[in-house]
Structure 1
């Protein structure tokens, strides 16, 4: 496989012209190139060829924030805490909930769309940014609420709530840049104070300073990348680089009319292989709402109950190589 011509947009979202595609590719290159220069076993697919025997392993984890499992004392407490703040939704997946006048959930919207892409839109075409916000969030959005003082606000008034419809990821660790840095840093092999190799996921994160060991995502990404680097291979992320929804597990869900609950999961942006936005909602003609569906015998009262069943995916790119990596001590 030849060297990649340029980085594609997340989920291969359409750009109106070549200039827009080139601008996005340049933005990703600014993230990838410095990491490839710094880490010997992290490579830039626009500068290094990808051979036919390269592997593209999927790294999958759960969307519910694992950090809340440490502090919550009950299922309902952790669901309520996760629904209360987008800052708690730190697994590269965030969601918002809509309810009817009686408080019954009518729709839950999940996004893994990286904020860097919306910054790209703001810089390239503010009118397109506004049109997209009005499509995703609502017709009431105004441009001066998104771009303030010449800068795009990731946490603008329309993209920081757990109510309504989100636009993209906003939690500070939920970015494409963070995922790339984690993958690159995890190519460094480590040993503990006794000189023994550090290979288990959480121990590796702690030893290498690779993010948050109590998250679902960071240990999974770090361990998969580190395992590949240990073989002497070089690692990157597969194009189109991004975080993607891996679907909803519906086992244990029951609908009032016996309909398959999977039919109410709808991808709104991307496709089945590269979904960056999806909703869970029951069509009005069914005569019931999401809150009338049960999950393990309980009515769905929180979006977090669904997040417990949502997968998030990152795809690595592993290029066979002949490196002989040396294990380094844990970071301070």
Structure 2
């Protein structure tokens, strides 16, 4: 194994989060959020991508803390809650983190298509291992008549278990690699002989890259180049440009982010879209820099943890009944049912004592080292012969590009119980290729079979998140009835600048099945900034439903730490438009409404994160911490 990394929380991450950097011109005071010193949410795996530019790194760290603050608030269940807020909770130094792990290979691919599904019931397709690997790598498989078939339909009813006798639906999540939905995605580069040369595995969340882009688009470009070219042969190098990563409109003009005054980021740009990499020449494209499947977001992970901290009538002994009862996550993934059960059991371990639960800082999703026990050399690789180093190991093809093999927990001072790998490249080391340029990953065997699919590798490693339970005594959490699959009426869902919504929503992304999805589905819950300058600002707020008379609907922003509207913030609802997209974090699109708002923030409005409220006929629903009002310096 190459490129061993060790990480810890740098001193720069411990600075006050009271300000954002010079590019914004705003003071990011989080009024009413915390008492005493500001709580700092560390960046994933403690990475400091702007360490050589301290002012920008501090800006990024502060943005990140602001984001996590809002996502934790949005994930908080109704009181009484056993899901704690790390910013307002005393975390003792002996509060160890706990690793929650699941396999990186898609559980839904195995469940719905494999001849040997993980659990009952069996599926009608009964595909062999090669066909399943092909589906996982490309979204297609070849049948007995040599016909290429996209992801076939699956049961529409999955609770209490998959019903193959009832109606079927298109496989989801949609998108160019939506089926890689275990918080791990990959892109495969093959040579002209169709042999696997390189696989890029990533678990980096899209929210981090959106935030980094806001601070320094130039560094994002540098990181794309250095990551996707890491240890690659010169003829297989690519060149990523700033223009490649920008969001553009139908005429090809960049869409400007009102927050920064610069072009917005396209999360499904040509270098981070789909499962196939093409390298060499003017047609180069593809790669995996961060997650793109719509449920593969950090905000979703936090929301899942919050929802599964609630105790449901199903109990938590079995994952499928629990996820069906709690209506959180997606059935038959390796991740969601297991994460939900693990968090639920952390709160209620059925021992008479109970715990509060949340994730361990730094919040993130992390790749673990593969189990190398069944990795062996093929006949073309003999250590000590033909230029291959005498100490060569099959694990040398696993190269950590971003993140760390070992990270120190700043709470306990001990290593986290696992790895914090964010990006790994699987490829033959350059030194071996200098001796034998014809080597490919097919010269490495897993379970005695040459590597022909990235899925073979994915099956050998796990994904992990780190939870941190805190003792809560002997008072049992209340048991809640099973929840409805329907969202309440008039619920606010997502808020962003109208200029960005109008840039993302018209762009259509395709799946192997032909299912279409709006690029708005790959946006994030990064709160838009609304300066208190008295000027009208255009926002788009999506919601579940609207009343028959739009005049019966009122939108307001709330006072800090209050359920009362802030009278210094004026809101006008200009229009409501039907829209179809997957609210980021969801596996399938649905039909909603986009409210066009004009918002005026008066100079007397207190700075900080603000919740948005929709009220219809006296009934209100709130999206916590939806926007941020900065203090103008």
TM interval, shorter chain, is: over 0.9
Q: How does 1:1-332 map to 2 (within 5 A)?
A: 5-14=39-48, 15=50, 16=53, 17-36=57-76, 38=78, 40-69=81-110, 70-72=112-114, 73-85=127-139, 86-137=177-228, 139-148=238-247, 149-150=255-256, 151-164=264-277, 165-192=287-314, 197-230=315-348, 231-256=353-378, 257=382, 259-272=392-405, 273-286=419-432, 287=436, 288-322=439-473, 323-332=475-484
Where does structure 2 lack aligned partners over 5 or more consecutive residues?
A: 1-35, 115-126, 140-176, 230-237, 248-254, 257-263, 278-286, 384-391, 406-418, 485-633
Structure with the higher fraction of residues in strand conformation = 2
Paired residue secondary structure (2:354): coil
Aligned mates of 2:322, 2:364 — CA distance in 1: 23
Answer yes or no: is the 8 Å Cα contact 1:3–1:50 preserved in 2.
no
Answer yes or no: is the 8 Å Cα contact 1:136–1:166 preserved in 2.
no
Q: What are the superposed Cα offsets for residues 113-155 of structure 1, whole Å, 9 maximum, x if unpaired?
A: 0000000011111111222222223653222332211332211
Aligned mates of 2:397, 2:228 — CA distance in 1: 20
Answer yes or no: is the 8 Å Cα contact 1:245–1:311 preserved in 2.
yes
- Residue-pair matches, total: 327
Answer yes or no: is the 8 Å Cα contact 1:122–1:147 preserved in 2.
no
Paired residue secondary structure (2:183): coil
Answer yes or no: is the 8 Å Cα contact 2:188–2:275 preserved in 1.
yes
Aligned mates of 2:74, 2:179 — CA distance in 1: 30
Aligned mates of 1:284, 1:132 — CA distance in 2: 20
Aligned mates of 2:399, 2:130 — CA distance in 1: 26
Q: CA deviation at 1:331?
A: 1.6
Aligned mates of 2:479, 2:242 — CA distance in 1: 50
Q: Which has the larger radius of gyration?
A: 2
Q: CA deviation at 1:3?
A: 8.2
TM score, norm. by length of structure 2 = 0.50
Task: Call closer, same or farther: CA 1:4–1:80 in 2, change over 3 Å.
Answer: farther
Answer yes or no: is the 8 Å Cα contact 1:3–1:45 preserved in 2.
no
Q: What are the superposed Cα offsets for residues 141-198 of structure 1, whole Å, 9 maximum, x if unpaired?
A: 2223322113322112211121223111111011101110001000111114xxxx34
Answer yes or no: is the 8 Å Cα contact 2:77–2:310 preserved in 1.
no
TM score, norm. by length of structure 1 = 0.93
Of structures 1 and 2, the one with the larger relative CO (CA 8 A, separation 6+) is 1
Segments ≥4 residues shifted beyond 3 Å: 36-39
Task: Call closer, same or farther: CA 1:79–1:4 in 2, change over 3 Å.
Answer: farther
Q: What are the superposed Cα offsets for residues 243-284 of structure 1, whole Å, 9 maximum, x if unpaired?
A: 001111123222132642122211100110311011111124
Q: CA deviation at 1:51?
A: 1.6
Paired residue secondary structure (2:368): strand
Aligned mates of 2:217, 2:421 — CA distance in 1: 24
Task: Call closer, same or farther: CA 1:223–1:4 in 2, change over 3 Å.
Answer: farther
CA RMSD of aligned residues (A): 1.9
Where does structure 1 lack aligned partners over 5 or more consecutive residues?
A: none
